[in-house]
């Protein structure tokens, strides 16, 4: 089974090339985050099966931009569910509100109606649950809480795949965001602690981070993007694709048996 995950960037300017990439890739599961609303309609024309949820509504002075979390499957979808994430707007400190305001030229905005998605598919007679998550770019404690919220839907008795952009920053270039978004100043400098903590949680749920240590977001020099699989899977291949096709994230690919 060939699994892809990609945050395609909601302001992607290469949508034709992005569609060609998805169309031509040999995938069984393809999880996408930050899908523009107009691109969602093109994805619905692809062969196979599709499920989606609003990733977030981005609130700009000019209006609301809706972006989507989308899961494509070669296998019929037997069931599905949504994982609503909290609205943190009222919890933002003054520095967070000011930072978002100053970063508007770089497409930062207030967010609402955020959430993740899971689907159930049957592969060779076995029911498999596939999660598609886009965790918040904010303080580490909130990201961890969102992951734990998603794992309430985890069933250890069935094979599980968890895809998505977890926004775990692992370099001093990006960890000041932890403070700007309400975290403790110590989280700017102890930037490896979040990775250690989240990997422990992966292990608790019997999930392998197949691409651990790989950079999927060149600017932050971090592994933001993940494909986690149950220990019951055997890993045949795993790679970070270098062509970002208009995004700031590299697509990632894992092949399992």
Where exactly are the structural domains of the chain? Answer: 2-256
Over 70: is that where the pLDDT of 103 sits?
no
H helix intervals, 152-192: 176-180, 186-189
Q: How does DSSP assign 75-142, residue by residue?
A: SPEEEEEEEEPP--GGG--HHHHHHHHHTGGGT--EEES-EEEEEEEEETTEEEEEEEEE--SS-HHH
pLDDT at 88 (0 to 100): 77
Residue 43 is classified by DSSP as: H
Q: Is the pLDDT of residue 96 over 90?
A: no
Q: Do residues 40 and 28 make contact, with C-beta atoms less than 8 angstroms apart?
A: no
What average pLDDT does the chain have?
91
What is the distance between the alpha carbons of residues 79 and 93, in angstroms, rounded to a whole number? 39
Mean pLDDT, rounded, for 166-193? 75
236 near 253, Cβ under 8 Å?
no
Distance CA 165, CA 19 (A): 19
- For the chain, percent of residues with pLDDT exceeding 90: 72
Determine phi and psi for 7, rounding to 5 degrees: -85, 105
Residue 193 belongs to what H/E stretch? helix 193-204
Q: If pLDDT is split at 50, 70 and 90, which confidence band does 192 have?
A: confident
Residue 113 or 51, more confident: 51
Q: Is there a contact between 108 and 180 (Cβ–Cβ < 8 Å)?
A: no
What pTM was computed for the model?
Answer: 0.91
From edge to edge, which strands make up the β-sheet containing 252-256?
Answer: 110-112, 49-60, 63-73, 29-36, 2-7, 252-256, 235-240
Helix 140-151 vs helix 193-204: crossing angle, to nearest 10? 10
| CATH number 3.10.400.10 is the correct assignment for the domain at 2-256 | no
Q: What is the mean pLDDT of residues 103-107?
A: 67
Phi-psi region of 34 (alpha: psi -120 to 50; beta: other; left: phi over 0): left
Beta-carbon count within 10 A of 124 CB: 7
């Amino acid at each position: 089974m060939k699994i892809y995950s990609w945050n395609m960037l909601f302001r992607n300017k290469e949508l034709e090339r992005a569609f060609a990439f998805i169309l031509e890739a040999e995938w069984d599961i393809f999880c996408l985050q930050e899908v523009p609303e107009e691109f969602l309609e093109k994805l619905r024309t692809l062969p196979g099966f599709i499920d989606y949820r609003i990733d977030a509504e981005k609130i700009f002075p000019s209006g609301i931009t809706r972006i989507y979390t989308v899961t494509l499957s070669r296998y019929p979808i037997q069931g599905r569910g949504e994982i609503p994430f909290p609205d943190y707007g009222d919890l933002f400190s003054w520095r967070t509100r000011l930072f978002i305001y100053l970063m508007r030229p770089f497409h930062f905005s207030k967010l609402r109606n955020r959430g993740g998605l899971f689907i159930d598919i049957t592969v060779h007679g076995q029911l498999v649950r596939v999660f598609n998550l886009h965790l918040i770019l904010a303080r580490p404690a909130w990201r961890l809480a969102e992951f734990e919220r998603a794992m309430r839907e985890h069933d250890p008795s069935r094979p599980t795949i968890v895809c998505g952009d977890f926004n775990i920053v692992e370099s001093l270039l990006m960890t000041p965001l932890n403070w700007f978004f309400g975290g403790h100043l110590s989280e700017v400098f102890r930037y490896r602690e979040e990775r250690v903590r989240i990997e422990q949680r992966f292990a608790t749920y019997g999930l392998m981070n197949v691409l651990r240590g790989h950079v999927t977001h060149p600017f932050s020099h971090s592994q933001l993007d993940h494909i986690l699989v149950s220990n019951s899977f055997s890993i045949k291949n795993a790679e970070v694709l270098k062509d970002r096709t208009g995004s700031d994230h590299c697509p990632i690919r894992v092949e399992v048996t």
